[in-house]
Amino acid sequence: MSLRSSLAYFVFRGASGALAVVTVSVFARLMGPAGYSTWTLAVVLSTFVAGVLIQPIHSSLARFLPRPGGAELVATFGRLLLAAAACVSVLAGVFALLAPSWIPVGVIGLALMLGVSQGVFDFAAQHSSSTLQARRYGRLYLFKSVIALAVGSSALMAGMGASGAVAATCVAYLLATAVFGRLAWAAVLLGRFRPESLPEIRTYAVPVGFALLTGALLQWGDRLVLAASVAPAQLGAYGAAGDVAQQGFGLLFSAFHLAWFPRLIAAWEKRAPDLQNQLDRYAQLSLLVMVPATLGFALVARDLAGVLLGAGFRDDAALVMPWIALAALLGGVRTYLFDLPLHLSQRMGIQSLIAGGSALLGLALNLWLVPRFGIAAAAGVAVVAQGCGCVASYLVGRGTLSPRWAMRDLAAVGGAAAAMALVVLCLPLAGVVGLVVKVLAGATVYALVVLALDAAGLRRMLLARLGGGAARS
C-alpha cells in the first residue's frame, strides 16, 4: 500500500516539481538577474516568517493527526495558525521599520503576503497528506502550480516586476486552497478549540519552531549574506540556481516522505513489530530517487542554466549548481531520513541543536568567505554545513531507530548512477535538444541497471505484479 501511495505522491509531486521549475525559468527570464534578486529576498524572508510561527503548527499537525483521536485537533491547529498569522503581521511591521539598507523597500510586505498565504495553503496540503488523501493533495499542488505560472507570467509581462510575481503566487496559494483544500478549513471553522491539548502541542511545537528557524538559516542564510555582500545580479543568479534545485529536489525528495510518514507515525504509536522493516523500505525507495536526481542535475548543470534561465544567468548559475545539488542531497538525507527517528520519538530539542549548530557554522563561514570569494564560496559552504548536519543527525538518531540499507542495494544504486553518468558525459550535445536527450538517456540507463541488479527488489516485485496480472487475465 505504501509503495502505491509513494508512486501517487511521486507522480503528483513530480508534475508539480516540473511546473515549479518551469515557473522559475519563466520568472527568471522575465525579471532578469537583478529583478530576480528582489524575488529571492521576498521568498527568503517569507521562509523565516513562516518558519518561526506558522510551520511549527503544520509539523505538529503532521505529528498528531495520524494518531488515534488526532482528527479532533484540526480545529485547534487551524485557529493557532490564524493567531500566528496575526502575530507575524505585527512583527513584520516592526521589522520593516528596522530593516537594513540592503533590503529593498516593500520587500518585507511582499514576504508577509507570501508567508501567510503559503501557510494557509500548506495547512490544507498537510491535512490531505496526514489523512492519506493522495489525490486531493496532488490536485492542490498541481492547481497551485498552474495558476502561479499563468498569473505570474501575465503579471511580469504586464511590467509588474517581482511584486506582481509575489501577488500572483499568493493568489495561486489561496485559490488552490479554496478549490481543493476547503475540507481542512471547514474542519477548523466547525470544530471545537481544545485548550487542554495546548501543553502537549507546545512541548512539541516550540522545539520544532527553533529547529525550523535554524533550518531556514541553514538553507537560506547564504542569500542574506550575499544580499549584503554582492551585486544584485549575482544574488539573482545564485537564487535562481538554488530555486531550480529546491523546486525540483524538494518536491521529489518529499514524495515518499509524505506517503510513508503517517504510516510510520501510526506504527510507532502502536509499537508495531515491523516498524524497522517499514523504515528500511522507505529508506531504500528514497535513495533510489535521491541519488540519480542529484547526479543528473550536476551533470547537466550548464545545459540547465542556459536552457532554463537564459544567457544572463548561465555563467554564474552553472558555477554553483553542482554544489547546490550536492548540498540539497545532503539536506534531503538529513531531513527525510536521519531526522525521522527524532521526529518519531519527539526529540525535537536535539534536532534543534543539530540544525542550529550547522546553521551557525554555515553563517560564520559565509560571513568570512562570501565577501572574499562571492557566490562560489556560498555554494561550498552549503555543502559543508549540510554535510555536518547530516552526519550529526545520523550519529544521534541511530540510538533510537535508524534507516538501514543493504550493501547490495547501495552497490546497485552506485553502479546504476555510474552508468548513467558515463552515458551522459559521452553525449556531445548542447542546447534544448541536447538537454532532453541527456536526461532521457540517463534516466533510461539508470532505470535499466536498477532493474537488472534488482535494487530494493524492484525487478522481482515488477515481475510478480506482471505475473499476477497475466494470471488474472
Spatial separation of the C-alpha atoms in residues 153 and 151, rounded to whole Å: 6
pLDDT band for position 205 (cuts 50, 70, 90): confident
Q: How far apart are CA 122 and CA 364, in angstroms?
A: 32
pLDDT of 342 reads 77
Return the sign of the alpha-carbon dihedral for residues 305, 149, 220, 248.
negative
Do 328 and 301 meet the contact criterion of CB atoms below 8 Å apart?
Answer: no
What is the tens place of the pLDDT at every residue in 412-446?
Answer: 888 999 999 999 999 887 778 888 899 899 899 99
pLDDT at 123 over 50: yes
Residues 251-305 pLDDT 10s? 677 766 766 777 777 777 777 777 777 777 888 888 888 888 889 888 888 888 8
pLDDT at residue 89 in the model = 83
Residue 175 has pLDDT above 90, yes or no: yes
DSSP 67: S
Packing angle, helices 407-425 and 431-452, rounded to 10: 150
What gap in Å lies between CA 262 and CA 249, rounded to an integer?
Answer: 21
Specify the pLDDT at position 71: 65
C-alpha cell at 158: 504586464
Please write the tens of the pLDDT for every residue from 80-120: 888 888 888 888 888 888 878 888 888 888 998 998 898 88
The residue ranking higher by pLDDT, 14 or 318, is: 318
Residue 42 has pLDDT above 60, yes or no: yes
Please say whether the beta carbons of 375 and 382 come within 8 A: no
Q: Residue length, the chain? A: 473
Note the pLDDT of residue 384. Answer: 95
What is the Cα–Cα distance from 272 to 275, expressed in whole angstroms? 6
**Mean pLDDT, residues 152-181 taken together:** 93
How much is the mean pLDDT over the chain? Answer: 82
Q: Round to whole Å and give the CA distance between 34 and 233.
A: 4
Q: Which residue has the cell 511584486?
A: 163
pLDDT, average across residues 459-463: 76
pTM exceeds 0.85: no
Q: In this predicted model, which residue has the larger pLDDT, 8 or 377?
A: 377
Averaged pLDDT for residues 331-355? 79
> pLDDT band at residue 8, thresholds of 50, 70 and 90?
low
Whether residue 469 has pLDDT greater than 70: no
Please compute Rg for the chain using Cα positions.
Answer: 22
Check pLDDT > 90 for residue 154: yes
**What pLDDT, on a 0 to 100 scale, did the predictor assign at position 163?**
92
SS3 for 214-280, per residue?
Answer: HHHHHHHHHHHHHHHHCCHHHHHHHHHHHHHHHHHHHHHHHHHHHHHHHHHHHHHHCCCCCHHHHHH
Question: How far is the C-alpha of 352 from the C-alpha of 69, rounded, in Å?
Answer: 28
**pLDDT interval class at 10 (50, 70, 90):** low
C-alpha distance across the termini of the chain, in Å: 22
> What's residue 302's pLDDT?
85
Helices and strands (H and E) in the chain: how many: 18, 0
pLDDT band per the 50, 70, 90 thresholds, residue 1? very low
Give the pLDDT confidence of 363-407 residue by residue, as tens digits.
999 999 999 999 999 999 999 999 999 898 888 877 777 777 778
Averaged pLDDT for residues 176-185: 87
Residue 365 in contact with residue 385, Cβ under 8 Å? yes
Higher pLDDT, 465 or 431: 431
pLDDT recorded at residue 37:
92
Question: What is the band of 67 on the pLDDT scale with cuts at 50, 70, 90?
Answer: low
- The highest-confidence range among 307-316, 452-461, 462-471, by mean pLDDT, is 307-316
Residue 321 exposed, middle or buried by CB count within 10 Å (0-12, 13-18, 19+): buried
pLDDT band at 170 (very low <50, low <70, confident <90, very high): very high
Pairwise CA distance, residues 267 & 261, whole Å: 10
- Residue 306 to residues 29, 57, 300, 377, 425, Cα–Cα distance (Å): 11, 39, 10, 22, 17
